[in-house]
Amino acid sequence: MSTPHPLVISVDLPRPGDVLGNYVIERQVGLGGMAVVYEASHRRLGKRVAIKMLLPHHAARTELAQRFQREGEAAALLDHPNAVSVFDADADPRGTPYLVLEYLQGEDLAALLKREGRLSMEQTVDLLLPVISAIAVAHDLGIVHRDLKPENVFLAQRRREVVPKVLDFGISKTAEAESLKLTHAESLLGTPHYMSPEQAQGAEQADARTDQFALGVMLYECVAGRCPFEGNSLFAVLAAVVGGAPTPLDELVDALDAGFDVAVMRALSKDPELRFPGLRDFGAALLHLASEPTRLHYAAEFAHVARPAQTRVCQDPLPEVDVRDRADCLIALFAAEAAAAPDDARDDVIEGVLDAPRSARVTKKRAYVPLIIGSALVLVAAASIAVAAADDAPRTVSTERLVTHD
């Protein structure tokens, strides 16, 4: 499989056969603007790993070295089956840092979307519920990813199973790092199409709800075959993210499930306060669409998050109210009915309780919660962001890959 960057062997970089700590370099498999990735093997055990090394000329740059260290710390702290594992961190004799990661074979979600165009709702939820689970645990640990996108969801092939893995915590934010002053280059960290409005206006504003917005973008893109916020320039994309409304999903997707529609549109709310309280709430709103094995696997994690008192305000048909209230009603009804159902009937409840009739969907006008800012402010903010990005585009708009391709 081809790699995302041309492969280059530099005199400053390790070569095949070189020894790096306990590992023998086998081959270079990826190169980006910040780091190089190798396939390697343990000298005694023979275990295959991936080694990601900061490019030597970046090692002396404090902010990049800190970002690289933060990537390793965040990934190591997040012990989750759907996040890439970090086995070790060290530096070569010159002091250039590197990470030792699990070796993955497969493709990323971006490659799958490029090949398939769009995915079914079931396939989309099956692939992204594990990601939601992993990022929910990251949030429990005070880690915000800040660059969730299809390129950073790797679909690892394990025997006959596909295991989604979250990659690249290089621009993640942790509670411990809050006291560190962000550099100018970090003012627009992330990837524009997947940024939340608050992240587009400054990385320091990104919190757990920013990751939720990015996941909403990915869910939309998977089923619609396009991102909700697009443009022919960086300025246009950022302006759409901050002040635009996406094309309604039911205009792009046939037989759109009402629960999926409501959940995604709530995650894409411009105002962070109107998104789901947490990612497990988001997962609960999507669980009914997953395949049976995925539903059974995640039922315990996601189905308990509803607040039972909300069932008192949920009537049939579901009220056409604020998208946040309606989504909470759906989650509460799902959890209450699933909990009350006998074990042999629970799957049917999970399958059907959120299958609301089309007439009960929230209206398009109410489904998009506008950010209360004037059009002039939108354009000024987007313009200032675009200028900042243009000053340092390679470091602010693109990010590094954490895994190898074979």
> Of the candidates 336, 347, 291, 284, which has an alpha carbon nearest to the alpha carbon of residue 309?
336
> Of the candidates 62, 56, 151, 172, which has an alpha carbon nearest to the alpha carbon of residue 107?
151
CA distance 104 to 97: 21
User: Which secondary-structure segment (H or E) carries 165?
Assistant: strand 161-166
Q: Identity (one letter) of the amino acid at 249?
A: L
The pairing of beta strand 35-42 with beta strand 23-31: antiparallel
Residue 397's contacts (CB-CB under 8 Å, 6 or more residues apart) are: 188, 191, 192, 234, 389
Active-site choice (12, 79, 126, 147): 147
Residue pair 4/167 in contact (Cβ under 8 Å)? The answer is no
CA distance 190 to 139: 18
CA distance 39 to 288: 39
Query: What number of residues does the chain have?
Result: 406
CA distance 375 to 372: 10
CA distance 326 to 293: 27
CA distance 128 to 110: 13
Active site residue 147: yes
Q: Is 42 helix (H, G, I), strand (E, B) or coil?
A: strand
Q: What share of the chain is helix, strand, coil (3-state, %, to 5)?
A: 50, 15, 35
| Helix/strand/coil (H/E/C) assignment for every residue in 192-254 | HHHCCHHHHCCHHHCCHHHHHHHHHHHHHHHHHCCCCCCCCCHHHHHHHHHHCCCCCHHHCCC
Q: Is 36 helix (H, G, I), strand (E, B) or coil?
A: strand
Active site residues: 147
